[in-house]
């Protein structure tokens, strides 16, 4: 039978000497600032620790307290988020800050169920904040925790089917004291020692109890079900110019992919290839649209995108959108795919 107390103690000892020094962390034994934990956890979704560090510091320099972030215009937050991707996180961050200030007096609730009700906070983030900021005896399961648990217990069920079992085991193993340190220790073990390739079992504090180490199959766990192929969607982007060379931008609808971000206007993105004339019939204004050579390619989590870019000029500045000089394009929160279109059109 697994001796969870022994596992907890060896890992907490290891954490004391081998933990990663991260800007949002407190010293072992202390609770971290909930605002810092929340901000870092939202940024870390889909993004690496190395990338997040400078963004985290920049956000705190600019908005040291959640009240400032809540009061900031959404565009400022989106702009500061540029480069982190997955902009729905930034919109939810802003909304969440507003709700925490309005409904909770600017303090995150020390309750996992109440945290789960906040915008942009799912089970993982709620568990992480509850454990790390408030020391509540709970856990959160990210990719690192999944890998460590699957190997420690020698789980052969592939992901994602193994998730409920992994969550159950992670919860069973979580201590009632120092739950935050323990959770961060498992995350660190996965990030630095129990790595996806070449895990360093020789210097792992859990080697003695690890099923995969004993079986010599650590690197093959966790098993993964084959991913479905990403489909390819196609669209036509409109590089629309005013007489003085200004470029037409438009804001995307609040809901959906890249919601609320500025964009180069385009047709729908769909799997059926576009007939160019049909796409151009939905252009921002009537003109002789000419295709540019080449294509812009971008990959989102769930699909590949191929865009043909067409260009035209108009003297009518009343068309729907925002005219922007080439020099001030950088003032707008433009997602990576839009920057690719701009580089393509200008290049």
Enumerate binding residues for ligand SF4 (CB under 6 A). Answer: 148, 151-152, 193-194, 199-201, 204, 206-207, 210, 212-213, 218
| 125 vs 95: CA distance, rounded Å | 16
The CB density around residue 211, as the number of other CB atoms within 10 Å, is: 16
Q: Of 71 and 215, which CB lies nearer to ligand SF4 in the complex structure? A: 215
Question: Residue 134 in contact with residue 179, Cβ under 8 Å?
Answer: no
Count helices and strands in the chain by DSSP H and E runs: 14, 7
Q: How far is CA 275 from CA 17, 120, 280, 284, 285, in A?
A: 62, 38, 9, 17, 18
To the nearest whole angstrom, how small is the minimum distance from the Cβ of residue 163 to ligand SF4?
Answer: 18
To the nearest whole angstrom, how small is the minimum distance from the Cβ of residue 137 to ligand SF4?
Answer: 22
Could you tell me how many residues make up the chain? 347
Q: Of 7 and 77, which CB lies nearer to ligand SF4 in the complex structure? A: 7
Q: Of 102 and 203, which CB lies nearer to ligand SF4 in the complex structure? A: 203
Q: Of 214 and 322, which CB lies nearer to ligand SF4 in the complex structure? A: 214
Which residues are registered as beta bridge partners of 322?
Answer: 249
To the nearest whole angstrom, how small is the minimum distance from the Cβ of residue 152 to ligand SF4?
Answer: 5
Q: Which two tokens stand for residue 187?
A: 């995350």
Query: Which are the contacts of 224, defined by CB distance < 8 A and separation ≥ 6?
Result: 158, 159
Q: Of 213 and 285, which CB lies nearer to ligand SF4 in the complex structure? A: 213
The helix/strand/coil state of 290 is strand
- DSSP one-letter code for 321: S
Q: How many Cα neighbours within 13 Å face the side chain of 40?
A: 21
Q: Which two tokens stand for residue 9?
A: 């103690």
To the nearest whole angstrom, how small is the minimum distance from the Cβ of residue 66 to ligand SF4?
Answer: 36
Instruction: Tell me whether residue 156 is one of the annotated catalytic residues.
Output: no
Sign of the alpha-carbon torsion through 216, 219, 221, 227: negative
To the nearest whole angstrom, how small is the minimum distance from the Cβ of residue 158 to ligand SF4?
Answer: 17
Residues noted as catalytic: 41
């Amino acid at each position: 039978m697994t001796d969870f107390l022994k596992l907890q103690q060896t890992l907490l000892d290891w954490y004391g000497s081998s933990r990663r020094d991260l800007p949002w962390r407190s010293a072992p034994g202390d609770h971290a600032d909930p605002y810092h934990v929340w901000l870092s956890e939202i940024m870390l979704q889909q993004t690496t620790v190395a990338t997040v560090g400078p963004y985290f510091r920049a956000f705190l320099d600019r908005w040291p307290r959640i009240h400032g972030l809540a009061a900031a215009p959404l565009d400022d937050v989106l702009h500061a988020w540029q480069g982190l991707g997955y902009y729905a996180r930034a919109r939810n961050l802003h909304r969440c800050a507003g709700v925490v200030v309005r409904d909770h007096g600017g303090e995150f609730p020390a309750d996992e169920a109440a945290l789960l009700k906040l915008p942009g906070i799912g089970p993982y983030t709620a568990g992480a904040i509850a454990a790390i900021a408030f020391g509540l005896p709970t856990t959160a399961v990210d990719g690192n925790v999944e890998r460590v648990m699957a190997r420690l217990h020698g789980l052969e069920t592939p992901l994602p089917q193994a998730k409920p079992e992994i969550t159950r085991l992670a919860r069973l193993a979580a201590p009632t004291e120092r739950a935050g340190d323990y959770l961060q220790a498992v995350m660190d073990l996965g990030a630095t020692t129990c790595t996806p390739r070449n895990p360093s079992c020789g210097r792992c504090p859990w080697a003695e109890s690890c099923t995969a180490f004993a079986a010599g199959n650590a690197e093959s766990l966790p098993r993964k079900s084959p991913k479905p192929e990403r489909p390819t969607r196609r669209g036509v982007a409109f590089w629309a110019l005013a007489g003085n060379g200004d470029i037409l931008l438009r804001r995307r609808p609040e809901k959906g992919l890249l919601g609320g971000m500025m964009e180069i206007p385009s047709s729908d993105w769909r799997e059926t290839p576009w007939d160019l004339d049909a796409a151009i019939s939905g252009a921002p204004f009537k003109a002789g649209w000419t295709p540019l050579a080449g294509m812009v390619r971008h990959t989102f989590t769930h699909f590949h995108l191929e865009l043909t870019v067409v260009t035209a000029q108009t003297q009518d500045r009343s068309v729907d959108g925002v005219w922007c000089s080439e020099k001030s394009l950088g003032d707008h929160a433009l997602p990576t795919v839009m920057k690719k279109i701009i580089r393509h059109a200008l290049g």
